[in-house]
Amino acid sequence: MRHLIPLVALTIAGASFAVTEAAEDSVRIAKWQNDRAGAFAFTFDDGQREQAAIAAPMLDALGLKATFVINPGKTPQNGESWFGSWEQWRALAKNGHEIGNHAMTHENLSKASDEVLQREVVDAKALIEKEMALPCYTFVYPFSAEGDAARALVKKTHPVWSSGERKAYGGPNFTAAKANAWIDEAIAQKSLVIAMIHGIDTGYLPFTGRAIFKDHLDYVKSKESQVWVATLATIKRYAAERDAAKLDVQTIAKKMVITLTCTLDPAIYNVPLTVVIASGGAKTVTAKRSSGEVTATISGDHILCEIVPGAEAVTVTWK
């Protein structure tokens, strides 16, 4: 087992910065939060009412959070329409779920005019933020259909977006085993896997029974120590911060002073990054910056510190 160099100062900038083997073993930014092997996000398209009424409570029962992308031009204030209401989406957001943009009226944007793009992308985002009183970070393309103009506008207005990278859930041949294999894929490949879900009982590609979705959720929960499950905006902002981060470290014996900075807009990119420290078998740990305590836990021979990037240094001490 390698131990920390007693007196060392090092800088790690970005995920690909080359450092010595000893330094890299000493401290690093985890690829995914809490140093889990992979990451996974549930996304629900089209803003169906039953997603809020059926799927969200099933997720909440296991402490799992998801991204629901809606068509704000079709969203009622309240009531029992096919679409979920603003009242329902506000309740989901209050409970930790993300409400994202799926275009104002679900237009195909691959060859859309500037006028249509303004309405479907920009005006839709503004309406979501007005109704939700929250930032709208994520855009998911309807029909997974992009285009050069749409891509440029979405990138300019949303820090997070998704198109054809997602795994399609539901339909007559869909099984929990198939979905579970995607969780295993995220862990084995140390990658992000994104679920694309439409119908629950009805609508496009519904499950043939709720038990399929429930069995899959139970499997996801059982793998929570290996795969990070969070909203798409949280995971993708973490990844962007991680890749743009600069880690400055000063170490003296069992004390480390860490300054974690990032060049991205802190108003948007403020997800805590996990800094992993090889402690050589610490029993206790404390982490502080001048503004207060920083979350720090012990995992085997490592300390995991959850640090929001900023100029303020964090002092980590262990025994």
User: What gap in Å lies between CA 34 and CA 153, rounded to an integer?
Assistant: 33
pLDDT recorded at residue 252:
86
Long-range contacts, stretch 20-25, CB < 8 angstroms, 24+ apart:
25/278
The whole-chain average pLDDT of the chain stands at: 93
Of the given ranges (11-25, 171-185, 199-213, 233-247), which has the lowest mean pLDDT? 11-25
Tokens 């862990």 -> residue: 187
Judge whether 275 and 253 are in contact, CB under 8 Å: no
| 264-294 pLDDT per residue, tens | 999 999 999 999 999 988 999 999 999 999 9
Work out the widest C-alpha separation in the chain, in whole angstroms: 65
Domains of the chain: 7-36+241-318 (2.60.220), 38-224 (3.20.20.370)
Residue 138 makes CB contacts below 8 A (sequence gap 6+) with 67, 69, 98, 100, 101, 158, 160, 161, 162, 231, 232, 233, 236
| Residue 302 phi, psi (nearest 5) | -125, 150
pLDDT recorded at residue 280:
86
Looking at residue 134, what DSSP letter applies? S
DSSP string covering 223-288, please?
A: TTTTEEE--HHHHHHHHHHHHHEEEEEEEETTEEEEEEEESS-TTT--PPEEEEEE-SS-S-EEEE
User: What gap in Å lies between CA 318 and CA 224, rounded to an integer?
Assistant: 27
DSSP string covering 29-84, please?
A: E-SSGGG-SEEEEEEE-TTBHHIIIIIHHHHHHTT---EEEE-GGG--SSSSSSBP
- pLDDT at residue 9 tops 70: no
